[in-house]
């Protein structure tokens, strides 16, 4: 298939952004666990999206914490925000759509506030470790899977049952994706994609609705070979490779130990930039709806992986569940050292 003008614009967008970032860009870390640390109660089917209703100021604060830790991309609090989910709480369709837009507005506001602080801050890094470096920052509108809406842990299994078809998934996501695409976000982050069917639904939806906003696909895996449903990881990545809107493809919410091999799998079937933001490696108990303590890796171990991931091809790196601003700050520092070493 010949490359169209829009294809070139999409690929140029990410190429230019990565060039401005020095070759590697930093994504933020876990949102929900940070909101809980700030005092938010997320025991709700909407999970982190409940804060759009109850405590948007906490979302703003977490975005700021990640920007001050060195993140170049902040991801909105819309992962589990769906029109259907809001309607189940008694909200109207218009109110649900307004909350989707609000997730982007909060992130954009945090970026503006951060830029203001950069303009008034003299040191690039303060004694308490806050980074005030004026740079291009992207707001990525998060789209979680159908399984995330179900809030039953099925985004970690990819098992939606035989009744969920390609068309059903497209219709579930259609209006939400359109609203987020028109919200002012710089890109759309399709996250924790658990199966090939949903990846195909996203790709077809982007084409059918002629969405012009760039996007990335991030799949999750529990064995380093397949996505969590058991579908071939390489086949899933191939869907992203053939989609003109997709400017990066990779992995999120996956234990760090599997990432190196998965990057190799991506490179065999895709030429797009590789996005990597694993979880801390901790195990999640879907029945208890909580993380199993002491099953993950330390920040030091997590960051030690980052250089290796970049060496084998990762261009965008960050963290997912249970990673913190401290994790992202450590990534910022290790990548800064890496750039200094390469420039010597």
**Pair 284, 291: CB distance under 8 Å:** yes
- What is the CATH number for 161? 3.20.20.330
The annotation status of 320 as a binding-site residue, yes or no, is yes
3-state class of 241 per DSSP?
Answer: helix
pTM for this entry: 0.93
- What is the residue range of 61's domain? 5-343
Residues with Cβ within 8 Å of 5's Cβ and at least 6 positions away in sequence, in order, are none
If one counts the domains in the chain, the total is: 1
Q: How far apart are CA 308 and CA 260, in angstroms?
A: 8
Query: According to the annotation, is 253 in a ligand binding site?
Result: yes
In tens digits, the chain (344 residues) has pLDDT values of 444 445 545 779 999 999 999 999 999 999 999 999 999 999 888 889 999 999 999 999 999 999 999 999 999 999 999 999 999 999 999 999 999 999 999 999 999 999 999 998 778 889 999 999 999 999 999 999 999 999 888 988 999 998 899 999 999 999 999 999 999 999 999 999 999 999 999 999 999 999 999 999 999 998 999 999 999 999 999 999 999 999 999 999 999 999 999 999 999 999 999 999 998 865 555 555 555 555 567 777 888 899 999 999 999 999 998 899 999 999 999 998 766 554 43
Three-state secondary structure call for residue 217: strand
Q: What whole-number distance in Å separates Cα of residue 193 and Cα of residue 199?
A: 7
How does pLDDT run across 25-84, given as a tens digit for each residue?
A: 999 999 999 999 999 999 888 889 999 999 999 999 999 999 999 999 999 999 999 999
Cα–Cα distances in Å, from 331 out to 38, 78, 80, 213? 22, 24, 26, 27
Phi, psi of 327 (to 5 degrees): -60, -45
310 annotated to bind ligand: no
């Amino acid at each position: 298939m010949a490359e169209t003008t829009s294809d070139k614009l999409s690929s140029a967008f990410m190429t230019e952004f990565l060039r401005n970032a020095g070759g590697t860009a930093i994504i933020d870390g876990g949102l929900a666990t940070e909101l809980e640390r700030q005092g938010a109660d997320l025991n709700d089917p909407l999970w982190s999206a409940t804060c759009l209703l109850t405590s948007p100021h906490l979302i703003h604060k977490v975005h700021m914490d990640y920007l001050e830790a060195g993140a170049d991309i902040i991801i909105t609090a819309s992962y589990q925000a769906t029109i259907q989910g809001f309607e189940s709480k008694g909200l109207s369709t218009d109110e649900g759509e307004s909350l989707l837009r609000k997730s982007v507005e909060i992130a954009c506001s945090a970026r503006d506030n951060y830029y203001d602080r950069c303009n008034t801050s003299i040191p690039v890094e303060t004694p308490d470790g806050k980074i005030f470096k004026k740079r291009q920052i992207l707001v990525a509108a998060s789209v979680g899977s159908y399984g995330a809406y179900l809030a039953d842990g099925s985004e970690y299994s990819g098992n939606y049952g035989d009744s969920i078809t390609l068309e059903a998934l497209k219709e579930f996501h259609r209006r939400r994706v359109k609203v987020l695409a028109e919200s002012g976000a710089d890109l759309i982050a399709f996250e924790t994609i658990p199966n090939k069917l949903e990846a195909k639904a996203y790709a077809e939806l982007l084409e059918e609705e002629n969405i012009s906003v760039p996007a990335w696909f991030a799949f999750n895996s529990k064995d380093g070979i397949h996505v969590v449903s058991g579908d071939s990881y390489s086949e899933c990545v191939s869907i992203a490779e053939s989609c003109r809107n997709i400017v990066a493809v990779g992995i999120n919410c996956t234990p760090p130990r599997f990432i190196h091999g998965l990057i190799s799998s991506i490179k065999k079937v895709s030429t797009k930039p590789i996005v990597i933001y694993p979880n801390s490696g901790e195990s999640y108990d879907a029945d208890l709806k909580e993380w199993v303590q002491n099953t993950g890796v330390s920040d030091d171990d997590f960051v030690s992986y980052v250089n290796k991931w970049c060496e084998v091809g990762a261009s965008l790196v960050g963290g997912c569940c249970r990673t913190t601003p401290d994790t992202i700050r450590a990534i910022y520092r290790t990548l800064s050292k890496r750039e200094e070493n390469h420039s010597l």
